[in-house]
Amino acid sequence: MALFGPVHTATLTDSCLVRNDWVCGEYVRTRREDITDALVQHVTITVVSIVIGFAVALVLAVLARRFGWLRGTILGTSTALYTLPSLALFSLLLPFTGISTTTVVVGLVLYSLTILVRGILAGLDSVPADVREAAVGMGYDGFRLLRKVELPLALPAIFASLRVATVSTVALTTVGFIVNHGGLGNLINRGLSSNFHAEVLTASVLCVVLALIADALLLGLQRWLTPWRRTVTA
């Protein structure tokens, strides 16, 4: 007979969560809502940043090409912005945008400019002079020349830079965890802080998959918008 009554022992159910495995299906099942929210935030920030960045870069590239004296300033400034560490850039933005998604979006837009401006400018510069002169002779000038002739011919170079900028932005979005708006970066940071292997690996893999999907979609869009290149290839 035991002096202090029966002894009860509790044992933890053996699972990948308890073992802290890197690959853990149970983590995905039990934290599905967290993962989905982080993924949606990541995609939203990336898409908004790329759309705004492309629009700004297009305007800057057209200005740089039209006014040669602006070319060096625009390219130099966009390159200088890209060299700023994300922590320093976000710190500079905080007084104006606060701890919000806007801080991350503005930072990502600025980072994307160095890739997009150079790519768009390279595409516009690659348009043959005789083609441009022929279009002018047919009555195309100004915005009509840009929209109907120059931009379509520059699409391959433009999309090449857009794909690089998009993949880069998918990766850089994770840095937004600094202001708690980093999408999958929030999960990576939380997993690293708590040494939670499954959380780190799952979020990292999703970032890679997201980048591959975005690149494939842009490649498909490029082929759809440039049917003449498919004909030439065939």
**Quick one: pLDDT at residue 22?**
85
DSSP three-state, residue 102: helix
Q: pLDDT tens digits, residue range 52-105?
A: 999 999 999 999 988 888 899 999 998 898 888 888 888 888 888 888 899 999
Specify the range with the lowest mean pLDDT, choosing from 13-22, 71-80, 174-183: 13-22
Pick 50 or 146 by higher pLDDT: 50
Q: pLDDT tens digits, residue range 209-233?
A: 999 999 999 999 999 888 776 655 5
Q: What sign has the CA pseudo-torsion 103, 183, 166, 196?
A: positive
DSSP three-state, residue 139: coil
Q: Per the structure block, which two tokens stand in for 16? A: 């990948």
**Quick one: pLDDT at residue 192?**
92
Residue 140 confidence class, pLDDT cut points 50, 70, 90? confident
**Quick one: pLDDT at residue 233?**
53
Residue 11 confidence (pLDDT) above 80:
no
Percent of the chain with pLDDT over 90: 52
Domain regions of the chain by residue span:
34-223
Residue 234 confidence (pLDDT) above 60:
no
Q: How far apart are CA 225 and CA 104, in angstroms?
A: 30
Q: Per the structure block, which two tokens stand in for 203? A: 């979020």
The gap from C-alpha 107 to its chain's centroid, in whole angstroms, comes to 11
If you compute the radius of gyration of the chain from its CA atoms, what whole number of angstroms results? 25
**Quick one: pLDDT at residue 167?**
95
Pick 152 or 9 by higher pLDDT: 152
Specify the range with the lowest mean pLDDT, choosing from 7-11, 61-65, 118-122, 172-176: 7-11
**Quick one: pLDDT at residue 13?**
67
Residue 185 confidence class, pLDDT cut points 50, 70, 90? very high
**Quick one: pLDDT at residue 1?**
44
From 3.90.79.10, 1.25.40.340, 3.20.20.70, 1.10.3720.10, which CATH number describes the 34-223 domain?
Answer: 1.10.3720.10
Residue 16 confidence class, pLDDT cut points 50, 70, 90? confident
